[in-house]
Amino acid sequence: MSLRLKVRLLGFSSGTPLVVVDDSVASALGAHAHDRLVLKHGVGEAVAVVNVARHLPSDVVLVNDEVAELLKLREGDEVEVDLASQPRSTFYIRDFINRVQLTRDEIHTIVKDIVEDRLSEVELTALVVAAEERGLSVEEAFYFAEAMVETGERLELGVKPILDKHSIGGVPGDKTTLIAVPILASLGYHIPKTSSRAITSPAGTADRAEVLMPVNLSIEEIKRVVLKVGGCIAWGGALRLAPADDKIIRVEYPLLIDPFLVASIMAKKVAVGATHVVVDIPVGRGTKVKTLREAEHLARTLIEVGRRLGLYVVCGATFGDQPVGRTAGPALEAREALQALTSFRPVDLVDKAVGLVGLLLELIGVREGRLAAMEALTSGKAYAKMLEIIEAQGGDPGVKPEDIPVGGKTFTLKAERGGIVTWINNTSVATVARLAGAPKDKGSGVELHVKLGDHVRVGDPLITVYSEHSPKLHLAEKYIESNPIVQLGKPGTDMLLKKLLEPKLPLEPLTLGR
């Protein structure tokens, strides 16, 4: 039974077609929350997920901009509203929850429905959580990646090989891309690097690069820059490369899970036309991958899914037990990266960059890839190339590291005892930098004065927090008071880290014999 309802415009766009009706309207239509309604107006037809509300008149349907645009609706228009059937992919998602192995067609249908906004939030979340719980097979990851590519835009440079680099992430201060891209481009290769902004970390590569140059490039601009100077460092978020992934991430983020990791990395690489890819897998406490064994498993899947997609993939497990270099936060990191291109320090950052670039060069047949990378760096070619990239993207090629502004409010934590640095807490470093304002306040962040193994004396500075605003600096300070950032010890002491777990139920007191 369809109803004729009067349109009220919500006046905003929410990314997907959405309507709101009163409880009484929903029950007259036989609709429950999360069902879909089909709206008809003239010859137009739109399907929207229904939100069921109360206190609304029973002859009204509220529509968002997406629905209004699809049906060219104005306030007060009449529309015919009926219960819509469910998209096929909802059945496949239920099968997926029930651990059925999905076919290629079924996965392609799901991805298409994600991109076209036919799934409700409940259904999309169910897909993501079920994937996390059951895991994806290599075959499923391949099908998801393939479908993500097909439903998105693609970059076509018309050259070969096209190189790319990706990091699984999780280590604060990882500015390796800002070194690796200019090295590769300076060697004459094409590397159209797209990066993300921080979601839960103090800086994403796009946030770091944006301190030096505009990163909101269109696909056409990326093409122009890369064909001109060999490489770019652009923000990938608005490019609609594998847009299904962008929608999946919106649900993954609040849950801190990432089950489509392999599919989405590979989809983005195929979408930019990459032929050879190096994937950095940081291994360590406070990163996503805790052991080398896990890293090997992940690498195997990445390589195999890549192979099926026609990509050559090499993976490098990297040391992730402490931040890379000595800074975390967009401006501090941009500065450190520029310095590394001229001073070749800090050594861990340089070592990581040339190590990963070396793997990638060897993948395309270069002998002694690491040496070639180091040579590009120490000869100054990579630095010169970085300035070309900055200029080609519209930044200032005259930029000097010391000119990059960082937060003027600072706080330095000093050692209250001496010892050897035995642990630097990645998560706490990230939290402090975020409390100080990163990534939104580009000048905010953390500088580490010590790294693992350093000998520290009482009163030595351990970390300095930079912030653009005093209240934020204060928040970071408060956090540091109760959360250890750097642990000092002597090997063989401080073995008891923490008392774990109270007993769940009160224990009966022991009855001692009289």
- 115, 87 in Cβ contact below 8 A? no
**Catalytic residue status for 59:** no
- 439, 207 in Cβ contact below 8 A? yes
Residue 492 is encoded by which pair of tokens? 């063989």
CB of 102 to its own copies, least distance (A): 10
Interface with its own copies, residue 509, by CB under 8 A: no
Among 40, 88, 94, 224, indicate the residue that binds its own copies (CB under 8 A): 94
Residue span binding its own copies (CB under 8 A) among the ranges 96-104, 150-158, 272-280, 351-359: 96-104
CB of 241 to its own copies, least distance (A): 20
Interface with its own copies, residue 253, by CB under 8 A: yes
CB of 197 to its own copies, least distance (A): 10
Nearer to its own copies, 94 or 240 (CB): 94
- 442, 411 in Cβ contact below 8 A? no
Q: Which of residues 401-460 bind its own copies (CB under 8 A)?
A: 440
Residue 196 is encoded by which pair of tokens? 């993300």
Residue 472 is encoded by which pair of tokens? 């934020």
Among 6, 30, 371, 384, indicate the residue that binds its own copies (CB under 8 A): 30
Residue span binding its own copies (CB under 8 A) among the ranges 115-123, 237-245, 416-424, 457-465: 115-123
The conformation of residue 397, written as its DSSP 8-state character, comes to T
Interface with its own copies, residue 35, by CB under 8 A: yes
- 325, 173 in Cβ contact below 8 A? yes
Nearer to its own copies, 49 or 267 (CB): 49
Among 111, 130, 356, 357, indicate the residue that binds its own copies (CB under 8 A): 130
Residue span binding its own copies (CB under 8 A) among the ranges 13-21, 345-353, 401-409, 443-451: 13-21
Residue 60 is encoded by which pair of tokens? 């009204």
Mask for 183-202, x = binds its own copies (CB under 8 A): ----------------x---
- 197, 178 in Cβ contact below 8 A? no
Residue 46 and residue 61: Cα distance in Å, rounded? 13
Residue type at position 259:
P
Among 59, 65, 351, 454, indicate the residue that binds its own copies (CB under 8 A): 65
Among 24, 38, 51, 489, indicate the residue that binds its own copies (CB under 8 A): 51
Among 26, 81, 115, 126, indicate the residue that binds its own copies (CB under 8 A): 126
Q: Active-site residue among 22, 77, 245, 258?
A: 258
Residue span binding its own copies (CB under 8 A) among the ranges 20-28, 217-225, 307-315, 442-450: 20-28
CB of 336 to its own copies, least distance (A): 24
Nearer to its own copies, 252 or 447 (CB): 252
Residue span binding its own copies (CB under 8 A) among the ranges 50-58, 167-175, 347-355, 384-392: 50-58
Residue 450: partners with Cβ closer than 8 Å, 6 or more residues away: 421, 424, 456, 460, 462, 463, 486
Mask for 68-87, x = binds its own copies (CB under 8 A): --------------------
Mask for 372-391, x = binds its own copies (CB under 8 A): --------------------
Residue 169 and residue 241: Cα distance in Å, rounded? 20
Nearer to its own copies, 33 or 371 (CB): 33
Q: Using only C-alpha atoms, what is the Rg of the chain? A: 26
CB of 130 to its own copies, least distance (A): 6
Residue 343: partners with Cβ closer than 8 Å, 6 or more residues away: none
Residue 474: partners with Cβ closer than 8 Å, 6 or more residues away: none
SS3 300: helix
38-56 core/surface letters (b: 16 or more CB in 10 A; e: else): bbebeeeebbbbbebeeeb
Residue 165: partners with Cβ closer than 8 Å, 6 or more residues away: 176, 177, 180, 181, 184, 191, 193, 277, 278, 279, 280, 356, 357, 360
Nearer to its own copies, 20 or 179 (CB): 20
Nearer to its own copies, 211 or 349 (CB): 211
Residue 133 is encoded by which pair of tokens? 């719980």
- 259, 155 in Cβ contact below 8 A? no
CA distances from 318 to 24, 181, 321, 366, 485 (A): 59, 18, 9, 21, 21
Interface with its own copies, residue 123, by CB under 8 A: yes
Q: Which segments of 406-507 does DSSP mark as H helices, in order?
A: 426-435, 470-482
CB of 27 to its own copies, least distance (A): 8
Residue 159 and residue 278: Cα distance in Å, rounded? 19
- 182, 272 in Cβ contact below 8 A? no
Residue 108 is encoded by which pair of tokens? 């392609």
Which residues of the chain form contacts with its own copies (CB under 8 A)?
1, 10-15, 20, 22, 27, 30, 32-35, 51-56, 62, 64-65, 90, 93-94, 97, 103-104, 120-123, 125-126, 128-130, 132-134, 199, 250-251, 253-257, 440, 469, 504
Catalytic residues, which ones?
A: 258
